[in-house]
Structure 1
Amino acid sequence: MGELEPDQGAEAAAEHQDSAVGAIAARTGLPQSQVSTAVARLREAGSIVTEADPRDRRRLLARRAPEVSARRVEVANATVDDALVRAPGTDDPQVLAEVLAALGRRLTPATVRRLRAEAAGEAASPILRM
């Protein structure tokens, strides 16, 4: 099975309030150790809060944090735009279009439109003027 994306764990906690680590592992198909690690990271980042299960103090229950943490905002607003432009070591629109084709599923729709326009020779995009 795969790994949780940065905000997927918080989304799962929101959909299933007060979920035990074992229940999350069962729903996702991920190993319990991986879920425990993800829960710890999400808690440290402020995306979720945890507390002991009042019925079984050995179990930890997770739920989405009531406040949006700075880290959650940072992750939600992050794009790969800057890294994509720097990675090929060129601002050649054709090279960037080839990179775009390979990584298209990971880019924001706005970035896809800007890079395609640049490759087609349309107005220079702000992302390529770095």
Structure 2
Amino acid sequence: MRQTAGPLEFVNGLTNNPIHTIYSTLNSTLPSGVTTVLSASSSGICLWNFGGSEQRPFMVLEAGNQGACISLAYSPSSDDMVASFRPRIDNSSEMTSSQSLLTAAHALEQGVQGSHVHLKRVGSNFYQKLAVTCANVNDVRLL
């Protein structure tokens, strides 16, 4: 049954940035009863372990400093993930909403130079960077 009065549980993360993607992962290296979750926000990728003695998020640092994370895809069968990044935008030069809409429409056509990072789990809380590919990515961002 859907419960909309409030969250079932609230957990403090590493940033206040909203999470745009979340995956429950399979992690056979952890003890029974521990659930692992991957989340992504503009700050990057976080790995969460729930049900164990230590319930805190870990940043997946192996993704590197590629910019703002805009997308995350995860394959449970291979424990691989691909994260997409765009350059960070300076918040000191905010535009009006009409300018933002025009910029968003233009970004869908043009895009910006970003990257896709391929990572694979190599331990309970560690990933290995397998590849980085430059690509045009969407510049639309959450305000």
TM-score calculated relative to the size of structure 2: 0.22
Higher helix share: 1
User: Counting strand residues as a fraction of each chain, which structure ranks higher?
Assistant: 2
When normalised by structure 1's length, the TM-score is 0.24
